[in-house]
Amino acid sequence: MKFVIIGGDAAGMSAASRARRLDPQIEVMVLEQTLDVSYSACGMPYNIADAKRSIEDLVVRRAEVFRQKQGIDLRTGRCVERIDPASGTVSGSDTNGQPFQEAYDQLLIATGAAALRPDLPGFSLPGVMVLKSLDQGRRIKTFLKERSVRQVVIIGMGYVALEMAESLRALGIGVAMVKPRPAFLPWMPEEMARLVLDEVHANDVRTHAGQAVTSIEMTAGTRPSLTVHCEQTDLAADMVLVAVGVSPNSALAAAAGLELSVGRSIAVDRRMRTSAANIYAAGDCADAYHVVSGRKTWIPLALRANRAGWAVADNVCGKLTELQGVAGTAVFRVFGLQVARTGLTEREARTCGFEPVPVVIKTRSRAHAHPGASDIWVHMLADKPSGRLLGVQMVGREGVAHRINAPAVALHNGMTVEQYAQCDLAYAPPFGPTWDPTLTAANQILKKL
């Protein structure tokens, strides 16, 4: 049996490795467009912040290891251009322009997602960067080093934009951020988003929210050489980072007639099967069920990509595996703050037919009278008629990142807030108050239900 995988990052290589382990008889072939496989994409902002480390440190396992130690037929520089479900073949061309064609018994599409690059004047100029693939990270790191960049404009204020703002400030580079919508972190309650914005400003990052970028212009020979034209202002930069989101690489699947889903991601069932026989999809290109709403969603995150890759390998090897779905649990660091979320936002909850009751509470990161404490803010949402927990968001200087996981597990179990409020969570004075912040939020929301 021949198992062909398109894409050699998280989902693709997880599937390849596991299929090999489960069934040594299977022929496992990976076709990767770039020369990079199996790297920690999420680690790029932190690596870029450290001039002494090589970007190649982010490679988790080298291509030779997959080939020689694991016996995976890993082919890099192979761009798949067409999937033909009728004949069970994929075809494309290699880096030399030579065409290839491969037959498959089972196919996995693990093409990931790509950074969006708006179709506006100047967005393809040299020095205008995006960050999603390792090669894009490599280019940014090289550019920063070779051009002795002093000023960067970041377009976008999502988590990649914020992580990169922190990285660039760590390198002593001036940062300005701009985005078209006026609200900063619009998925978060305003008072909590304000805390994050204050932290960004406290680290000397200027922000310009509510301003669309109209074009980018280059003036040869001047420093800085780039001008980002916005609706009401112009921002000068040595480099521009476009971090306005990502989009699933689903064109190949769409052209083959496969069903698409939320945000043009590839529709898969709980076993990661697409609408075509013997074709699976996994990772940032595929959709998922949301455990709270039960509806399809598209949340490209690393853990899901790894897990979905494994599930595909299981199913390909005859070990039937279904995935429960995602809760949208995520955490990111913004300078000294930890920002975390799980479940639905208030707007999402309403869209999904819930009647969300919100609460925002402020508590402390350590026990009463324990020194060194800082504030922890918790936003919690419950459904009024059912009392069900719908989502939690947190901001704080410590004790946020791993705390989000307890309500995430609660969401997987469909717990009500009343049930969650009874959970026996850990307490010791250096690590939190007697009532965990998420329990305090639950106690408060119970009064409103």
Which tokens belong to 149?
């960049």
405, 361, 411, 422: which is closest to 388 by C-alpha? 411
Of 415, 441, 442, 445, the residue at the interface with a copy of itself (CB under 8 A) is 415
Q: What are phi and psi of 128, to 5 degrees?
A: -100, 110
Of 122, 189, 328, 396, the residue at the interface with a copy of itself (CB under 8 A) is 328
**Segment interacting with a copy of itself, rule: CB under 8 A, options 89-97, 141-149, 176-184, 297-305:** 297-305
- Beta-bridged to residue 179, according to DSSP, are 209
Indicate the SS3 state at residue 389. strand
DSSP result, 83-145: EETTTTEEEEEETTS-EEEEE-SEEEE---EEE---SSTTTTSTTEE--SSHHHHHHHHHHHH
Q: Which is nearer to a copy of itself, 219 or 434 (CB)?
A: 434
Q: Which amino acid does the sequence have at 426?
A: A
Q: Which is nearer to a copy of itself, 224 or 328 (CB)?
A: 328
Of 331, 352, 360, 361, the residue at the interface with a copy of itself (CB under 8 A) is 331
Q: Does 50 bind a copy of itself (CB under 8 A)?
A: yes
Number of separate helices (H) and strands (E) present in the chain: 12, 25
Binding mask 139-168 for a copy of itself (x = CB under 8 A): ------------------------------
Name residue, tokens 């965990």: 436
Can you list the alpha helix ranges (DSSP code H) found in 208-343?
Answer: 251-255, 302-316
Q: Does 329 bind a copy of itself (CB under 8 A)?
A: yes
Least CB distance to a copy of itself at residue 55 (A):
10
Which helix or strand (DSSP H or E) is residue 6 part of?
A: strand 2-6
Q: Which is nearer to a copy of itself, 241 or 340 (CB)?
A: 340
d(C-alpha 324, C-alpha 136), whole Å:
33
Least CB distance to a copy of itself at residue 411 (A):
8
Indicate the SS3 state at residue 344. coil
Q: Does 303 bind a copy of itself (CB under 8 A)?
A: yes
User: Cβ neighbours of residue 102 under 8 Å, at least 6 residues apart?
Assistant: 4, 29, 31, 89, 90, 91
Site for a copy of itself in 211-250 (CB under 8 A): none
Name residue, tokens 């939690």: 392
Of 185, 205, 291, 382, the residue at the interface with a copy of itself (CB under 8 A) is 291
Q: Which is nearer to a copy of itself, 21 or 82 (CB)?
A: 21
- CA 345 to each of CA 293, 329, 341: distance values in angstroms, whole numbers, following the listed order: 11, 12, 9
Least CB distance to a copy of itself at residue 320 (A):
13
Q: Does 405 bind a copy of itself (CB under 8 A)?
A: yes
Least CB distance to a copy of itself at residue 409 (A):
4
352 in catalytic set: no
Q: Does 307 bind a copy of itself (CB under 8 A)?
A: yes
Of 3, 12, 33, 47, the residue at the interface with a copy of itself (CB under 8 A) is 47
Catalytic residue selected from 42, 79, 352, 423: 42
Positions annotated as catalytic residues are: 42
Q: List residues near a copy of itself by CB under 8 A.
A: 10, 40, 42-43, 46-47, 50, 53, 57-58, 60, 291, 301-304, 306-307, 323-333, 338, 340, 342, 367-371, 399, 401-410, 412-413, 415, 419-420, 422-432, 434-436, 439
